[in-house]
Structure formats: C-alpha cells, structure tokens
Chains A and B, each alone.
Chain A
Amino acid sequence: MDSDEGNAQRVPLSQRPDWSDVTPVPQDDGPNPVVPIAYKEEFVETMNYFRAVYLADERSPRALWLTAEAIRLNAGNYTVWHFRRLILEALDGDLHDELGFTENIAKSNSKNYQIWHHRRWVAEKLGTDATSKELEFTKKILTLDAKNYHAWSHRQWVLQALGGWDDELHYCWQLLEEDIFNNSAWNQRYFVITTSPLLGGLEAMRESEVSYSVEAIVAHPENESPWRYLRGLYKGDIESWVNDPQVSSVCLKVLSAKNNNFTFALSTLLDLLCHGLQPSQELRDVVDALKASGENDQPDPDLAKTVCWILESVDPMRANYWKWRKSKLIS
C-alpha cells in the first residue's frame, strides 16, 4: 500500500497500467445538485474508480487497495468500509494487518462510527486472539482522550465478547486516580462491577464500592460522578439505599463541612427523604443551619421542603426544577 507521503508525486489511476481496463464511473449528482462539494481532483478520481469496482462487485487485491485510498480521503464513507469487508472475506485477507490499518486511520480521526464498527467486525473474526490487542488499542486511544465514547463502547464489547476482565477494575482505578472527574471511567467501573464474571455482582461489590465512592465524595463534594455512582450501587434496591447509614452520613459530613459544595449532598438527601428516610436530629440541625438567616427562622417540620428551599437559592440554574420537586412532596 502507498504511504501518505507519496501524495505529492501521486500517479493518477487513469495513467496506471494496472487500472487501464477499468472505466471510471462518475457520481450521478443530477443536473442541479444542492450541497455540492468542490472535491479535489484526487478525491473525484479515487471515488470514480471506487464506484466502478463497487458496481462490478470486483473483490480483488487492487479493489482492496482502492478502498484504503478512499477511506484515507474520507473515513466516514460507510459504503466503502462495507465493501472492504466483503473483499476481505472473499480474499481471506490478513485480519491482523487489518487491525493495523484501522489503527492508522484512527490516528487522524478516532471519533467516527465506521472505524469502530469495522474494528469490531475484525476482532470478532479473530476471536480471543484479538483480546489483548484490542484492550491495548483502546487503552492507547483513551490515553489521548480518556472520554472517547467509541473507544469505551468498543472496550466494553471486547470484554463481553472476548473476555480479558482480569485487570479491568484496576484500570478503572488507575484512570480515576489520574482524573477523579472522569465520568467515563466511573461508568466503566460500574460496568465492571455489575458485569464482570470474576466479581460477584453488584450486591457482593457494594460494600467496598460504597467506601470507594464515599472517599471520592469527601475529597471532592462538587464532583457529581461519585454521587451518581453511589446511588447506582443500590439500583433496584431503594430500601437498602435509604437504610444504609453510610449514605446519609456522607451527606451529613459534606453538609457539616461548611464549604460551598453541598448541592449534591442536598439533592441526595432530598431523594432519601422522598423515599422515606427518617432524618436524625443532627441532620435536621445541619440543614437548618444552612438556611439563610432572617427568612424563616422557625424550623419547618418538613425537612424535605427546607432542602428544596435551600437548593432553590444555592442552585439557581435549577431553581425551576427544585420548585417542581418541592411541589411534588407529599405532605
């Protein structure tokens, strides 16, 4: 395959003897197309030859080469990728080479559905031979952008289809160590503890995961990710969530700390109260202390209402939401 630097002295396909038997097929845009793109000559020619081999269904080595050229010019052309897979199947092409090819394309643009769909197709064919390569590959992409959505989806697919779970929890830990605000890593952590066959599932993992997220919350109460994660640990088991003293106590701890980052603590407390938490006197006191003085000095017996009221003023961006929540309280 040609390398990129060959561009300057690129020989047009029309002048290459190995393509002399092919009649290029121009794009049929009609007489007055809209959104016409002023393609460069190389683009037009490559696509004209691509259309020719595609329409002739020519599954040959040169057609395979041509798809690489077309993808290099526009990695978003799913038709080209699709045809490339048909050719690879017909030629029984080397799939390890194919991984290298997609990796090269991903270097310049890793946010494209086609690359990742193709990669999944190749890895599926290679089976467990590809496991470690795929985990390494996604790791590499995530080193550049730790929140690349496609890379995470691919990684989850690899784990589920091919395995390789051993180090995944550690990998999540490592990424969160680097950036505790990385919500994608939190999501992956949730995926691992709920899905990994090596761990005992959500309930078995709950205790240690609660400690982990509580620690993260205390370090950064303004970080939404561990708050949502903590709540997620009780998915489908609200009763345990309401009754676990660790949950209300982390709210208490953050609310007592007298810094300004208590929106998530209050919002969690509100949810707990809505689901039947009987608040301790300590919790009542700390919430009352947060009320701006003067407005309403008599403590409201309905703590949830007070919480909504405070949220309305400390979180004005969501004032409508907190008002609405207040209106839905069953008094």
Chain B
Amino acid sequence: MDSSASQTPTVSQRDQWMVEHRIFQIYDFFGGLPRKAQSAMLELQRENHMEYLIKGLKRLEPSFSVLDANRPWLCYWILHSIALLGECVEPELEDNVVDFLSHCQDPNGGYGGGPGQMPHLATTYAAVNALITVGGERSLSSINREKLYMFLRRMKDPSGPFRMHDAGEIDVRACYTAISVASFLNILDNELVQNVGDYIVRCQTYEGGIAGEPGAEAHGGYTFCGFATMILINEANRLDLAGLLDWVAFRQGKECGFQGRTNKLIDSCYSFWQGGVFALLQRFHSTLDEQLALPHSGEGDCTNDSQKTGLNASCPVNLNSIGYNFIKQPAETEPLFHSLALQQYILLCGQDIEGGMRDKPGKGRDYYHTCYSLSGLSGCQYSSAEDEDSPPLPSAVMGPYSNLLEPIHPLFNVVLEKYYEAHEFFAMS
C-alpha cells in the first residue's frame, strides 16, 4: 500500500477504467446529438426485440446445448420479456409452452431443466413463472400443486433452508425459489417457512447486502432473493434494512448502471436484482423508520422475540396473502436510486439495436439479460407512480413514451396483470 504501488493500476482499477471509458464515449456521443436523434437512440426497439424473442421460442442454435438443463428458464426469460413488452404469442405457441413444460414436470412434483431431468427448484420457479405468464385455465391447472408441495418439503433441509435438488446445494437462491413458488401457488405454510429466516439473517454480511451462503460476499442476486424471501415469510424486519439500503444505494455506479458487488463491473442484469431491491424497500419505509429510531436494532445478533414475530405481531398473518397485500400497499416515497440514469444505461448501453439486451457494450445479447434488463427498465418506469392505477408521468419514462413497459409484481417478477389472474385462480382452487 505504499505510494509507489498505488501508481500502477490494479486489475480492478484497470477493468473499471476500461468500462467507464467505453461507456462515457457512448454518453458523449449521445450528448452531442440533436434532440430528435437522441430520442431515436433512446427508443426501445420493440419489433426487433420481439423478433429475437419469438425466434428463440421456436429454435435455438447448437451453442445453446450448454443451457440444456435450463430450458424452463429460457421459456420464462423469453415469455416474461414478451409480456413486459405488452405483446402476446399466438395461442398455438402458448399451448406448446404448456405442453412442453408438462414434459419437464416430474411425476413426483417439481420441474426439471428438461424432459426426464430431476426436478430442481430454480427450474421449478422458472416453469411456474412461465406458466403464470402464459395464463389461462389450461396453463395454470397444468401445475400439480399437491405434488409440488411434496417436492418442496423434500427439498427442505432439517436446518431450515432449501436444497436446489435431491442432495443438491443449499443457498439463498434455493430459499427464494421455493418460497416464491409456494407463495404464488397458495401452498406456503409454517412447515416450509420454519427457520428459513434464521438462515437468511446469517447471510446478511457486514457490508449490508446478502450473500449466497453465510460468510460469503454481499451480492445483488442473493440480496434480492434474500430480501424478497424475508418479505414473503413476513420476517423482513429481522434484517438490518438501513444497512441493506446503504449498501444497495452505493451499487449504482457513475456509469449509471448497477454492479452486483462492491468494486465489480456494472452489468445490466442488476438493473433488476439491485433495482428490484429498491422497489421492495419502497414499501418498507415504516420498518426502516422503526429501525432508524432504534439505532441498535438490526445490528449484530441481538434479534429478540418481538422482532421475530413480524410486522403485525398481534394478529396472525395469512402467509399466502403477503404477496397480494404487499402490492396493494402504496409505495411511500420516490425511489432512492437514480431511475433516469439507470434507464439511460439500459437503453444506450444494454440494448442491441438488432433485438435483445446485453450485459454491457462489447458483450453479446442473450435471453437472460433481455429478461432482467427489461424487468429493471419496467421497475424504473413505475418507480415514481403514486399507485398502481395511475400510469407513470412522461417525465418518469426515458425516451419516447412508447418505451413504457408493463408493470411487474416486484416480489415474483411476473407482469402484474398475470399475477392477479394467477392469484385469483390459486386462491379459488
């Protein structure tokens, strides 16, 4: 750490400066354009995105063989992107989605990465979200909820958290995908919830964000998963939310996008994982206020029983209505991140003009980044909306107003309209 050593840039510095340089070149170029050209450059290339998405549903190149155990994910990434764009696929193609995912459904519950593969929690989450996005009786009733519940129970480790698959790894992703699916399908109960919160609390690091496992580094993807899980099991107030907010606030870089971890490069997918954390926090200001008023809460392991019992300790909580009540609560303030800056990054740096979205300039497009960039973009556009019935003001939407996407449910990342349909369906059956 002597001064001579600080002269030569480190790997982190060098990588960071290269990305900054490339991105600022784009912004400089953009800044020098006349207004009309700027507006054109900010336009979401809807038709090209649709073409790219539909093409993927119909055929994937041999290079996709490395995603052969992630085919429900491909369905979800593509269908959710299409839904965000406010488009639909032909009814025949929708039927094909339902049929194909039925082939991925395990006779004993859950969905595998492809036909005949073992059921896996991540692909189960993807399949369920994809089927909800398709919507309709045929699609929603294709999910075997009784068997799925048994699968979730089998994946639950006696210590509390979940395993990804039979004898698979335990982590925060597994907890989120299990709890999200159970909550969505109206099958969440105390057996599934038990001790999940203890595990997630242990994953919140000294930085404020949440790691994949206790001891590991705070990370955007796991922070979203961990926080969303805690909300769905009504234990979010056990986290140090002020610390979490401070950490996530600093993840937005001067390049305007979000990074996943401290001193890492930005990546458009964190537009959702980190940006989504703000959408969740926007409905948690009262808890934040409580924690700020008691400066010692949330720090260390001093969780006491009253903190453990949840928001409404006096009245028993219906676990399965948390997701619904959450979205019905008004968002209390403006977002605490820079929404227009993030939209600028997504549109100018993340968008492939030919269709699809990418991590950052210089990288190729893919369905994962398309899904999470568009999800993040939607989150930005609605981040200042007073309530869900009033559309965003034009000033909240970067570029032409036709860039406006459909709103999502921030806990499940499914288009809101599809969420309501599924919520009603599963509440009745």
Chain A contact residues, CB within 8 Å of chain B: 25, 27-40, 43, 47, 51, 73-79, 82, 85, 113, 116-117, 120, 146-147, 149, 152-153, 156, 160, 177-184, 187, 190-191, 195, 215-216, 219-220, 223-225, 228-229, 231-232, 235-238, 267, 271, 274-276, 316-321, 324, 328
Contact of A34 among B100, B166, B254, B262 (CB under 8 A): B100
Please name all residues of chain A whose beta carbon is closer than 8 Å to the beta carbon of B247 when the two chains form the complex. 228
The answer to whether residues A76 and B70 also contact, given A117-B169, A235-B300 and a CB cut-off of 8 A, is: yes
Any chain A CB within 8 A of the CB of B12?
yes
In the bound complex, do residue B56 and residue A149 qualify as a contact, i.e. CB atoms below 8 Å apart?
no
In the bound complex, do residue B65 and residue A43 qualify as a contact, i.e. CB atoms below 8 Å apart?
yes
Please name all residues of chain A whose beta carbon is closer than 8 Å to the beta carbon of B207 when the two chains form the complex. 187, 228, 232
A interface footprint on B32-57 (CB within 8 Å = 1, 0 otherwise): 00000000000000000000000011
- Considering the complex of A and B, which 6 residue pairs feature the smallest CB-CB distances, nearest first? A236-B300, A232-B206, A181-B12, A179-B10, A183-B262, A187-B217
Please name all residues of chain A whose beta carbon is closer than 8 Å to the beta carbon of B167 when the two chains form the complex. 82, 85
Any chain A CB within 8 A of the CB of B252?
yes
- Report the bound CA distance from A38 to B205 in whole Å: 43
In the bound complex, do residue A35 and residue B299 qualify as a contact, i.e. CB atoms below 8 Å apart?
no
- A74-B68, A77-B68, A147-B261 known; 5 other A-B pairs, CB under 8 Å? A29-B103, A82-B166, A146-B11, A187-B205, A228-B206
A interface footprint on B57-97 (CB within 8 Å = 1, 0 otherwise): 11111101111111100110010000000000000010111
Chain A nearest Cβ from B109, distance in angstroms: 16
Among residues of B, the one whose C-beta sits closest to the C-beta of A33 is B100
Contact of B301 among A31, A177, A236 (CB under 8 A): A236
In the bound complex, do residue B100 and residue A37 qualify as a contact, i.e. CB atoms below 8 Å apart?
no
In the bound complex, do residue B58 and residue A179 qualify as a contact, i.e. CB atoms below 8 Å apart?
no
Please name all residues of chain B whose beta carbon is closer than 8 Å to the beta carbon of A317 when the two chains form the complex. 252-254, 256, 338, 341
In the bound complex, do residue A34 and residue B117 qualify as a contact, i.e. CB atoms below 8 Å apart?
no
Sample of 9 A–B contacts (CB below 8 Å): A38-B60, A78-B118, A85-B167, A153-B216, A182-B11, A223-B263, A228-B208, A232-B206, A276-B295
- Report the bound CA distance from A87 to B293 in whole Å: 57
Any chain A CB within 8 A of the CB of B137?
no
In the bound complex, do residue A324 and residue B336 qualify as a contact, i.e. CB atoms below 8 Å apart?
yes
In the bound complex, do residue B6 and residue A35 qualify as a contact, i.e. CB atoms below 8 Å apart?
no
Contact of A156 among B57, B216, B253 (CB under 8 A): B216
- Report the bound CA distance from A270 to B358 in whole Å: 37
Contact of B219 among A25, A31, A149 (CB under 8 A): A149
- Report the bound CA distance from A146 to B247 in whole Å: 22
Please name all residues of chain A whose beta carbon is closer than 8 Å to the beta carbon of B264 when the two chains form the complex. 147, 183
Among residues of A, the one whose C-beta sits closest to the C-beta of B57 is A34
In the bound complex, do residue B295 and residue A27 qualify as a contact, i.e. CB atoms below 8 Å apart?
no
In the bound complex, do residue A219 and residue B1 qualify as a contact, i.e. CB atoms below 8 Å apart?
yes
The number of chain B residues touching the other chain, given as a range, is 35 or more
Any chain A CB within 8 A of the CB of B212?
yes
Chain A nearest Cβ from B115, distance in angstroms: 5
Contact of A224 among B6, B97, B250, B299 (CB under 8 A): B250
Please name all residues of chain A whose beta carbon is closer than 8 Å to the beta carbon of B212 when the two chains form the complex. 149, 153
Question: In terms of DSSP, what is the predominant structure of the interface of chain A?
Answer: helix
Contact of B120 among A34, A78, A319 (CB under 8 A): A78
Please name all residues of chain A whose beta carbon is closer than 8 Å to the beta carbon of B60 when the two chains form the complex. 35-38
Task: Please report the number of residue pairs spanning A and B whose Cβ atoms sit closer than 8 angstroms.
Answer: 223
- Report the bound CA distance from A181 to B13 in whole Å: 7
Chain A nearest Cβ from B154, distance in angstroms: 14
In the bound complex, do residue B296 and residue A238 qualify as a contact, i.e. CB atoms below 8 Å apart?
yes
Please name all residues of chain B whose beta carbon is closer than 8 Å to the beta carbon of A36 when the two chains form the complex. 58-60
Contact of B168 among A40, A117, A220 (CB under 8 A): A117
B137-194 contacts to A (CB < 8 Å): 164-169
Contact of B263 among A37, A225, A267, A328 (CB under 8 A): A225
Please name all residues of chain B whose beta carbon is closer than 8 Å to the beta carbon of A183 when the two chains form the complex. 217, 261-264
In the bound complex, do residue B64 and residue A37 qualify as a contact, i.e. CB atoms below 8 Å apart?
yes
Please name all residues of chain A whose beta carbon is closer than 8 Å to the beta carbon of B69 when the two chains form the complex. 74, 76-79
In the bound complex, do residue A113 and residue B337 qualify as a contact, i.e. CB atoms below 8 Å apart?
no
Chain B nearest Cβ from A173, distance in angstroms: 10
Please name all residues of chain B whose beta carbon is closer than 8 Å to the beta carbon of A113 when the two chains form the complex. 164, 169
The answer to whether residues A27 and B338 also contact, given A219-B6, A318-B249 and a CB cut-off of 8 A, is: no
The answer to whether residues A29 and B96 also contact, given A82-B165, A317-B338 and a CB cut-off of 8 A, is: no
In the bound complex, do residue B74 and residue A35 qualify as a contact, i.e. CB atoms below 8 Å apart?
yes
Please name all residues of chain B whose beta carbon is closer than 8 Å to the beta carbon of A224 when the two chains form the complex. 250, 262-263
Among residues of B, the one whose C-beta sits closest to the C-beta of A271 is B246
Any chain A CB within 8 A of the CB of B116?
yes
Please name all residues of chain B whose beta carbon is closer than 8 Å to the beta carbon of A146 when the two chains form the complex. 11
- Report the bound CA distance from A149 to B333 in whole Å: 34
B324-348 contacts to A (CB < 8 Å): 333-338, 341
Please name all residues of chain A whose beta carbon is closer than 8 Å to the beta carbon of B296 when the two chains form the complex. 238
Contact of B118 among A37, A82, A120, A191 (CB under 8 A): A82
- Report the bound CA distance from A195 to B117 in whole Å: 38
Any chain A CB within 8 A of the CB of B215?
yes
Please name all residues of chain A whose beta carbon is closer than 8 Å to the beta carbon of B218 when the two chains form the complex. 187
Chain A nearest Cβ from B389, distance in angstroms: 24
Please name all residues of chain A whose beta carbon is closer than 8 Å to the beta carbon of B103 when the two chains form the complex. 28-30, 33
The answer to whether residues A321 and B337 also contact, given A78-B165, A149-B216 and a CB cut-off of 8 A, is: yes
Among residues of A, the one whose C-beta sits closest to the C-beta of B339 is A320
Please name all residues of chain B whose beta carbon is closer than 8 Å to the beta carbon of A40 when the two chains form the complex. 62, 65
In the bound complex, do residue A37 and residue B62 qualify as a contact, i.e. CB atoms below 8 Å apart?
yes
- Report the bound CA distance from A195 to B96 in whole Å: 52
The answer to whether residues A220 and B6 also contact, given A79-B112, A228-B262, A318-B338 and a CB cut-off of 8 A, is: yes
A interface footprint on B104-120 (CB within 8 Å = 1, 0 otherwise): 00000000111111101
Contact of A153 among B56, B208, B213, B261 (CB under 8 A): B213
In the bound complex, do residue B113 and residue A34 qualify as a contact, i.e. CB atoms below 8 Å apart?
no
Any chain A CB within 8 A of the CB of B354?
no
- Report the bound CA distance from A187 to B211 in whole Å: 11
Among residues of B, the one whose C-beta sits closest to the C-beta of A118 is B169
In the bound complex, do residue A190 and residue B206 qualify as a contact, i.e. CB atoms below 8 Å apart?
yes
- Report the bound CA distance from A120 to B168 in whole Å: 11
Please name all residues of chain B whose beta carbon is closer than 8 Å to the beta carbon of A79 when the two chains form the complex. 69, 112-113, 116-118
Contact of B117 among A77, A178, A219, A231 (CB under 8 A): A77
Please name all residues of chain A whose beta carbon is closer than 8 Å to the beta carbon of B254 when the two chains form the complex. 317
